[in-house]
Structure 1
Amino acid sequence: MFPTRASDDSAMTATVPSGPEISALSPHPEGDRVGPVMEKYAISRDLKPIFTAMVLLLLSIVVFANRPADDQPSPIDFSRQVRPILSEHCFPCHGPNDESRKAGLRLVDRESATEELESGFTAIVPGSRDDSEMWLRITDPEDPMPPAKEHNELSSKQVEVLGRWIEEGAEFAPHWAYVTPEPSEVPVTAHDWPAASIDHYILAQLQAVGLEPAPDADDTTLIRRLHLDLSGLPPEPDRIAEFTNESGEEAYLEQVNRLLASPHFGERLASFWLDLVRYADTVGYHGDQEHHSWPYRDWVIEAFNSNMPFDQFTIEQIAGDLLEQPDQNQLVATGYNRLLQTTHEGGLQLKEYRAIYMADRVRNLSETWLGGTLGCAQCHDHKYDPYTTRDFYSFGAFFADIDDEDHLRNPYGGLNSTPTRRRPEMRLMTDEGRSRAEQLARKISETKPQIDAAIEALVPEQQAWEQQLVARIESTERRQSVWVDDVLDTGGTVSGRWNFVAAEGVPAHSGQVYRKQSSDGLIQHYTVGTTEKTITVSDGDVLFAWIYMAADSQPAAVMLQCNTAGDWQHRALWGGDEIVYGRQPESSAAYQRMGKLPAVGEWVRLEVPFESIGLKSGTVVSGVAFTQFGGTVYWDLCGVENASAAPAPVVEALAVAAADRTDAHRLVLSNYHVDQSQQVVALRSQLASLQKRASSLTERQPLALFTRSLESPRTVRILPRGNWLDETGEIVEPKIPQFLGSLETGQRATRLDLARWLVTPEAEGGIGGLSARVFVNRVWAQFFGEGLCSSVEDFGGQGRPATHPELLDALAIEFIDSGWDIQGLIRRLVLSRTYRQSSRPSPRAAEVDPENLLFSHQARHRLPAEMVRDASLWISGLLVDQLGGPSVKPPQPPHYYRHLNFPPRKYKPDMGSNQWRRGVYVHWQRQYLHPMLLAFDAPTREDCTSRRHRSNTPLAALVLLNDPVFVEAARSFALRITRWQHDLDLIGRDSAGTDEEAIVFAMKRATSRHPEPSEIELLMNLLESSREHFAAHPEQVKTLLDAGAREAVDFIEPVDLAAWVEVARAILNLHETTTRE
């Protein structure tokens, strides 16, 4: 698929060619580096692209300086030295984009760059810079290129690189990221530092610029780093002691394997993936309503914990629904396709949002898996990479089969509700629920043939039954139609509490159970349309219901109501005047006072002639309501007693001689015979009960977004300049970007074809080498602070060249060969000596490599937002160790949602143990992300986030001091400290621990190290001054200790506890507590 990179022998000597020079230095924006040396040489993050090139330049200068005098410098490397210059300075006007091209000059490949232009000039004459118009223009002192007005001037060193390149033949090469990864020889160095091949690659680069690796981190720092990186939580002090006592390679490997096997590993690793795929609990646009996305998050955590191979991890997310007979988990995985921002705004334009959604999916998949910026080709061809507008829309066509437009076609269905409707959604079954559902399905399948057999057995009896029915009709016998008995038919509208009970000391009047209602006031339950037996009233028909009123809990009044044409205006009342519904001072046409309450302690039949409550013959009654005020009432059989022994259609059919009856007559009679069969009625009732239980079981299961494919994918057109109103563009089919090859499927390509292409090696027609590079680079950045290619989000022309391309290729190749083993990759990284270095740079490293792009020492940085929260909860003992489940809502400012509408919302924080769960489970509201997460730079996840930026502001410190979760954490931590101090079994002696010992205990738990004497002194001073302060201000003690979830404390005085809370707050606020080094 890709051209193959030529073997690079320079890896043996770690020669890295030069690049653009650095232009300026500025103080480090994060302020979290160690020592004045780092502060002095820290570099602005905005200048990092330039600095990356400077590091490469320094590498080449040092290597060249170490060569013998007669040794010629290495040839210019196009990919590492020339392409970055062309991309940054030349491609805006002479790059891949045809629309923005100036003077007809295209510097993308050798053929176009060396051809004669319409002006008669030739930009590049290979072998001769003086004959090359490009050289003349970039060295023209009067009118240089790029023009001065663009403020994008070339440095003198960059000009010389271009000149040398022309002199050497102006050879072009494919962009490094799109070249198939090739194995290289591991650099050999006369050094005993490397423990793995990774270390050889790193060491070779360091030695090339005269650097040495940092010393190994001490055991305490290393084990803390490992725990934070692999579990997201600090280590227990006992774990630290165990490791420092045993130490050595085997002990370290044991710790690595233990942490990789921990369920916390998946929770830790999931955060970076959720940033990439823009996971959130809300839809994003307009009302930002909640949707059912959390099962996808749990799937990601479980996938990492189970070490799902990355190729399977990829395929199931993008196209799990297209696999043969996908299981529930594979469908949940396809929730990835539904994580984009959506809108439920009324009056939206369907075509506009089709274009928006498609663009979102293209951007996200290309950045997440390809490290590409294909989204930049939505309106025009990419200015820096070979992506065309056709590529963009052809790539988007892969998603044209996703059924995700119900909310666009009917936005009002979810406009003012949250969670909102985002069909398709699926119910998630647990193993236990699935077993129960299968049992019910089996019973339902067994009952249906029994009903059919019972109906078939009635056929021989039909004639005799008809004769008996004629006799009953002639004798004017009345007929009953039952509406409610032992079960409630499904399919209609019900309200109130339908408590079907038995064994209350009251025998059922009919069937096995009855309904119980108890209340101190007005209470009602009703049903509308829950039976096919709607009644058309005839003259003389009577509504009836059997009730039993408890002698020791008699109601003040009971009432029956009938539903007609959607209203409840026809009522019959027994007893007092307490029921307010439709209350009238005396009986009227639709309101009938039936007199006193019936007798108590026995079943009594309430009867209401329909005409007495204003219902005339021909009125359709579709529901009934059962109302009482106070007391306990048991409600049983309810229905209608008809004046005739059979309905009018049956009577009419019987009046026709058997020989003259039509098929319609015979059907009416046979159906009525079936309806009157006690055996059939019993079996149907049993079936309805089973179906209701099955439906109830399903409805109790949580919902999850998933992907469902349309039978006919939507048509996708190229939108000229991205204009969704312009339908003149050409229709396109699903295709991968043209410069990356093609999918030979023989039919319309699908998402499954796309997913498999992403993880198929180039030799087999895929792009797996690039996908592996991108993922490996992301994982490297998680454990070393920067990627081997520091622009983790962009492997294209505007990205930064890899500082260690051979190492990146070696890791990508091994990742694929291992079966895409994610845990195996991480194990290899953390076992390297490079990972185990100290985070303190030498003065020389701080000067030569201030951004640590050569990995001369480990990275040191503040914990991500979720881990800041998790660490404080863990230190305090509050953290709830529960895996998975719906998102949780910790406390936040009460009016934070005041501008969140459609619908207006009031935040309801979880007040139980849920508020102490890990940050990965915290509710992610895109428009109003939890303030604590925002203060620590968590992304809103409105779009793909490949890297989180870090900032230090007063808000972060204020959160740690005043956020209710952290205040409660400090209180709990203080209790933990003082309990240890007073627990003689824990401290192993006969007297309580001293305050100094308690401070040592606290510092070890929070920072994983023994405090210095000066630190103990400072905290002791804080403790004593706090005791004095709170003794003088007891009202503040109550305010502080009443915060959050409280528990009774009897072993310590409140003033003393409050003082320890202040110490705990100080420790939790330490830079060291929230820092990984």
Structure 2
Amino acid sequence: MKYKIGIIVVLSLLIGLLYTYKKGVFDSGDDEYAKLKLPETVNYNFHIKPILSDNCYTCHGPDANKRKAGLRLDLETSAFAELPESPGKFPIVPKNLRESTLYQHIISEDGDALMPPPDSKLALNPYEKRLIKKWIEQGAHFEKHWAFLTPVKAEVPKFETSDPSHKDWGENEIDGFILKKLGDNDLHPSERASDATLIRRISLDLTGLPPTPEQGKALMDDGSESNMAKIIDGFLASPAYGERMTQSWLDVARYADSHGYQDDSYRTMWPWRDWVIHAFNENLPYDRFLTWQLAGDLLPGATREQILATGFNRNHPITQEGGVIQEEYRTNYVLDRTNTLGKGILGITLECARCHDHKYDAITQRNYFEMFAFFDQVDEKGLQMDAVQAKNKKFFADPPFMTISEEETEGVLSFVNLEKGEKINVMVMNDSAPRTTRILNRGEYDQPTDSVRPGTPPTIFAFSDKLPKNRLGLAQWLTDTENPLTARVYVNRLWAMLFGRGIVETSEDFGVQGSLPTHPELLDWLAVDFMEHGWDIKYLLKKIMLSATYQQRSQMRPELERADPENKLLARSPRFRMSGEMIRDYILTTSGLLNTEVGGPSVKPYQPAGLWEETNAGADRGILTRYVPDSGDDLYRRSLYTFWKRTLPPPNMTIFDAPTRDFSEVRRQKTNTPLQALVLQNDVQVLEAARVLAQGMLEKEPDSPDLVRDVFRRILIRTPGEKELLALDAYYHDAVALYKKDGADAEKLVAVGEYGQRGTDPAKTAALMLTAQIIYNLDETITKE
């Protein structure tokens, strides 16, 4: 009994201490919030709307089905209107806190009156309450959502800094906006990065590959600031540029070499991928790049290339199973195209309005199905194709390796291989007879309700009556210079490609629940400038890369760690890990193994045995039941060309956060896991690359005292520091001595991989191979900085 009483007493004391601790923490937090300085002018979009969206829109937002008390707070008219359930009372009365019931509810000490309600687990902190108070006092001015306002070019701030050492900092307009925000936060920019760092950075950003040793030396000899534009132009002209840009677009386009679902059989869509590479290398303006993919078949006198581009909207998963309900899956395909348009091009979560009005953005379910209607006219008959992998070469070559035949039926475009006379069928878009589109109750294919015509959400940008109500009209709406989203979203995506995060971090969501832009004026300035220069992608990339902002060092400084640990203000260049595809390509390039052939069908590099068998439910029906790696040069092609099976994407790329491609993906997640280290330590491709690099070095200079230094420079471009070189040299010589004693281990190690052997000393090869592998495993090697 005493024992039980003792436990109760101890628990009571612990609970009391915990309560006191939590109260102290929260009181302390409240004090901190109270100290925060309010902005001189409270802005609705950047200060008030995020508070209302996070705390109020679930019950008082755009979704009419979930709205309570008849109160809607996302529109000025309803926020100022008399409350339906409380005559004579108004949610917000500008400049009148006492009569503003919204304010009275958020400061109430009565649990029954407090908003948000305590049981919602939501609460406004003191700073947020003070913001709303000041906003109402200043007149409670509403604005249209910032991303739905047509972008305009703000005046570029002058380059000014209080730091004398950065008095002349700045190369173009971008730097003015960045420096202004840094100054507002009592920060200053970083120094220019070294030539070696910049050349590696530019090469990775524009080609997805490191510069070769020859390129690195030549560019560093010519790498002065005045020659930076010429260096950038050289990389932009490389065929590898188109491959690098295509890699990112494949995620948006949900490209794969198999159909998905249970059977997951072969699909031949690589000629469309070849077109994307070709389009980027030819610098096809972004407005035309979109138009051809969405509606190339509807252009007057459409060329075969324009029709091929429409394969973009055939990239979704397609069932090959028997016994399915065709209308159910046809609806799913149209839903997929609609959602891809929203997420991949408009940067809006349209899919949230499939079953009901959007809970946060002013997009109704009717709006969703009006967008759906643009893709609802497509003839789906061409989706049934033979499950045969076409083994042909690239389409876009000089002269063309293949021609497009005149035959084009039921959404299939046929190619003829000039060497073999084979026919390759590729799915493209074509509209059937007009179909009536209906709103689907709860988004279900078998619950049609009211009919709708093709249209766009008026809250974003009204669809002109002058435009045709088909996919071509949709493309023209998207690329109208008044459309507030298209240019902003793509500019932001390119910024994220170069800086690791967009000006709007949520590249896929520019809606109310998305992140606010860190530099809104800069984003708008770039979007307008992009359109003014003919939607020229290469122009935009070069503009950003020539800025002093892009060319900064990446080293963290103590004041930045305190004031801006996430580097949102860009007082330094970012550091972030490369994608799995880039890491593999980096290793292949520096080892000398990379096959630089551009275009052509997908290939199967090394992969752990048995994975496909474990994920495949079918057998003996021509579907993908066994993984048979390719051989020869096909093992060393760029990762862009790796066969992509939806039910089992390339495992090493998946470990480095590659998506499945079941649906459009704009922003890959970023993780750090032990599996990533294990891949770099044990993968056959990495070990083979290290072996080939070691053999190549030893073949040229077997007795050179600079072997380790040269391997380091080949991989990382820069020269190693004294301590780095001493440590690696010691490791290499210790390993040589070890393998001289145990030749069998050395022979076993240097036999890894299929690439041909060279007549080099096994002990030295094994030792230098492991030294190279250590360098491949360095954080610096897999990081872009």
TM-score by length of 2: 0.89
| Counterpart check, 1:794 vs 2:514 | no
1:1041 aligned partner, one-letter code: V
| Counterpart check, 1:721 vs 2:442 | yes
| Counterpart check, 1:776 vs 2:743 | no
- Asked if structure 2 preserves the Cα contact closer than 8 Å seen for 1:214 and 1:841, the reply is no
Structure 1 CA distance for aligned equivalents of residues 222 and 533 of structure 2: 31
1:1031 aligned partner, one-letter code: K
Report the 3-state secondary structure (helix = DSSP H, G, I; strand = E; otherwise coil) of the residue aligned with 2:746: helix
- Asked if structure 2 preserves the Cα contact closer than 8 Å seen for 1:733 and 1:748, the reply is no
Q: Alpha carbons of 1:980 and 1:151: their partners in 2 closer, same or farther (altered >3 Å)?
A: farther
Match of 2:237 among 255, 258, 261: 261
1:172 aligned partner, one-letter code: F
**CA offset digits 1:145-193 (Å, max 9, x no partner):** 1122222211111111111111112111100001111121111243421
2:463 aligned partner, one-letter code: L
Structure 1 CA distance for aligned equivalents of residues 715 and 185 of structure 2: 38
Structure 2 CA distance for aligned equivalents of residues 846 and 1042 of structure 1: 47
RMSD of aligned alpha carbons: 2.5
Report the 3-state secondary structure (helix = DSSP H, G, I; strand = E; otherwise coil) of the residue aligned with 1:897: helix
Residue of structure 2 equivalent to 1:24: none
Q: Alpha carbons of 1:920 and 1:74: their partners in 2 closer, same or farther (altered >3 Å)?
A: same
Structure 2 CA distance for aligned equivalents of residues 318 and 1045 of structure 1: 43
Residue of structure 1 equivalent to 2:130: 160
Residue of structure 1 equivalent to 2:591: 876
Q: Alpha carbons of 1:1047 and 1:141: their partners in 2 closer, same or farther (altered >3 Å)?
A: same
Matches within 5 A, 1:970-1049: 970-982=690-702, 992-994=703-705, 997-1049=706-758
Residue of structure 1 equivalent to 2:4: none
Report the 3-state secondary structure (helix = DSSP H, G, I; strand = E; otherwise coil) of the residue aligned with 1:730: strand
Residue of structure 2 equivalent to 1:602: none
Q: Alpha carbons of 1:909 and 1:149: their partners in 2 closer, same or farther (altered >3 Å)?
A: same
Report the 3-state secondary structure (helix = DSSP H, G, I; strand = E; otherwise coil) of the residue aligned with 1:267: helix
Matches within 5 A, 1:539-558: none
- Asked if structure 1 preserves the Cα contact closer than 8 Å seen for 2:708 and 2:768, the reply is no
Residue of structure 2 equivalent to 1:178: 148
**CA offset digits 1:879-925 (Å, max 9, x no partner):** 01110100111011110111313336111111110110111111111
Structure 1 CA distance for aligned equivalents of residues 734 and 726 of structure 2: 12
Report the 3-state secondary structure (helix = DSSP H, G, I; strand = E; otherwise coil) of the residue aligned with 1:708: coil
- Asked if structure 1 preserves the Cα contact closer than 8 Å seen for 2:403 and 2:418, the reply is no
**CA offset digits 1:530-580 (Å, max 9, x no partner):** xxxxxxxxxxxxxxxxxxxxxxxxxxxxxxxxxxxxxxxxxxxxxxxxxxx
Match of 1:1070 among 769, 773, 778: 778
* Offset at residue 839 of structure 1 (A): 0.8
Q: Alpha carbons of 1:713 and 1:965: their partners in 2 closer, same or farther (altered >3 Å)?
A: farther
* Offset at residue 391 of structure 1 (A): 0.7
Q: Alpha carbons of 1:219 and 1:1003: their partners in 2 closer, same or farther (altered >3 Å)?
A: same
Structure 2 CA distance for aligned equivalents of residues 281 and 435 of structure 1: 20
Residue of structure 2 equivalent to 1:583: none
Which structure 2 residue ranges, 5 or more long, are not aligned?
Answer: 1-32, 161-166, 408-415
Q: Alpha carbons of 1:405 and 1:112: their partners in 2 closer, same or farther (altered >3 Å)?
A: same
Residue of structure 2 equivalent to 1:964: 684
Residue of structure 1 equivalent to 2:765: 1057
* Offset at residue 242 of structure 1 (A): 3.2
| Counterpart check, 1:135 vs 2:103 | yes
Structure 1 CA distance for aligned equivalents of residues 377 and 476 of structure 2: 17
1:220 aligned partner, one-letter code: A
Report the 3-state secondary structure (helix = DSSP H, G, I; strand = E; otherwise coil) of the residue aligned with 1:704: strand
Moved more, 343-352 or 813-822: 343-352
Q: Alpha carbons of 1:1019 and 1:431: their partners in 2 closer, same or farther (altered >3 Å)?
A: closer
1:700 aligned partner, one-letter code: E
| Counterpart check, 1:210 vs 2:176 | no
2:431 aligned partner, one-letter code: S
Specify which structure has the higher proportion of strand.
Answer: 1
Structure 1 CA distance for aligned equivalents of residues 290 and 669 of structure 2: 26
* Offset at residue 432 of structure 1 (A): 6.0
Structure 2 CA distance for aligned equivalents of residues 365 and 1076 of structure 1: 30
- Asked if structure 1 preserves the Cα contact closer than 8 Å seen for 2:159 and 2:176, the reply is yes
Q: Alpha carbons of 1:433 and 1:80: their partners in 2 closer, same or farther (altered >3 Å)?
A: closer
* Offset at residue 930 of structure 1 (A): 1.2
* Percent identity over paired residues: 38
Structure 1 CA distance for aligned equivalents of residues 726 and 159 of structure 2: 48
Matches within 5 A, 1:705-720: 705-710=427-432, 712-720=433-441
Match of 1:856 among 545, 568, 571: 571
Report the 3-state secondary structure (helix = DSSP H, G, I; strand = E; otherwise coil) of the residue aligned with 2:426: strand
Residue of structure 1 equivalent to 2:548: 833
**CA offset digits 1:283-305 (Å, max 9, x no partner):** 22221222111112111111111
Moved more, 89-98 or 1018-1027: 1018-1027
* Offset at residue 836 of structure 1 (A): 0.3
Residue of structure 1 equivalent to 2:5: none
Matches within 5 A, 1:648-667: none
Structure 2 CA distance for aligned equivalents of residues 119 and 721 of structure 1: 32
1:717 aligned partner, one-letter code: R
Match of 1:109 among 71, 75, 79: 75
- Asked if structure 1 preserves the Cα contact closer than 8 Å seen for 2:438 and 2:451, the reply is yes
| Counterpart check, 1:146 vs 2:116 | yes
- Asked if structure 2 preserves the Cα contact closer than 8 Å seen for 1:298 and 1:885, the reply is yes
Residue of structure 1 equivalent to 2:664: 944
Structure 2 CA distance for aligned equivalents of residues 180 and 351 of structure 1: 39
Aligned pairs, how many?
727
Structure 2 CA distance for aligned equivalents of residues 1018 and 307 of structure 1: 46
| Counterpart check, 1:824 vs 2:545 | no
- Asked if structure 1 preserves the Cα contact closer than 8 Å seen for 2:382 and 2:427, the reply is no
Report the 3-state secondary structure (helix = DSSP H, G, I; strand = E; otherwise coil) of the residue aligned with 1:352: helix
* Offset at residue 240 of structure 1 (A): 3.2
Match of 1:368 among 344, 350, 373: 344
Structure 1 CA distance for aligned equivalents of residues 666 and 607 of structure 2: 27
- Asked if structure 2 preserves the Cα contact closer than 8 Å seen for 1:937 and 1:948, the reply is yes
- Asked if structure 2 preserves the Cα contact closer than 8 Å seen for 1:929 and 1:940, the reply is yes
- Asked if structure 2 preserves the Cα contact closer than 8 Å seen for 1:803 and 1:854, the reply is yes
Structure 2 CA distance for aligned equivalents of residues 356 and 1042 of structure 1: 49
**CA offset digits 1:315-352 (Å, max 9, x no partner):** 00000011122222111110001011111122111222
Matches within 5 A, 1:202-241: 202-241=178-217
Structure 1 CA distance for aligned equivalents of residues 584 and 418 of structure 2: 38
Moved more, 297-306 or 198-207: 297-306
Structure 2 CA distance for aligned equivalents of residues 84 and 436 of structure 1: 54
**CA offset digits 1:745-770 (Å, max 9, x no partner):** 468601000011100122xxxx2x42
- Asked if structure 1 preserves the Cα contact closer than 8 Å seen for 2:437 and 2:452, the reply is yes
Residue of structure 2 equivalent to 1:88: 54
Moved more, 939-948 or 1026-1035: 1026-1035
**CA offset digits 1:65-109 (Å, max 9, x no partner):** xxxxxxxx6221111111111111111110011000011100021
Residue of structure 2 equivalent to 1:806: 521
1:1021 aligned partner, one-letter code: A
1:139 aligned partner, one-letter code: I
Residue of structure 1 equivalent to 2:276: 300
**CA offset digits 1:105-124 (Å, max 9, x no partner):** 00021210111112233211
| Counterpart check, 1:331 vs 2:42 | no
* Offset at residue 238 of structure 1 (A): 3.5
Structure 2 CA distance for aligned equivalents of residues 233 and 735 of structure 1: 42
**CA offset digits 1:848-891 (Å, max 9, x no partner):** 11111111111101111111000100111000111010011101
Structure 1 CA distance for aligned equivalents of residues 497 and 58 of structure 2: 33
Matches within 5 A, 1:155-554: 155-190=125-160, 191-405=167-381, 407=383, 417-419=387-389
**CA offset digits 1:580-610 (Å, max 9, x no partner):** xxxxxxxxxxxxxxxxxxxxxxxxxxxxxxx
**CA offset digits 1:802-828 (Å, max 9, x no partner):** 111111111111111101100000000
Structure 1 CA distance for aligned equivalents of residues 771 and 223 of structure 2: 33
Structure 2 CA distance for aligned equivalents of residues 430 and 813 of structure 1: 34
- Asked if structure 2 preserves the Cα contact closer than 8 Å seen for 1:428 and 1:701, the reply is no
| Counterpart check, 1:953 vs 2:673 | yes
Moved more, 1010-1019 or 305-314: 1010-1019
**CA offset digits 1:961-1019 (Å, max 9, x no partner):** 2222112111101112212323xxxxxxxxx411xx11110101111111122222222
Match of 1:845 among 560, 577, 581: 560
1:884 aligned partner, one-letter code: G
- Asked if structure 2 preserves the Cα contact closer than 8 Å seen for 1:437 and 1:697, the reply is no
Match of 1:704 among 409, 422, 426: 426
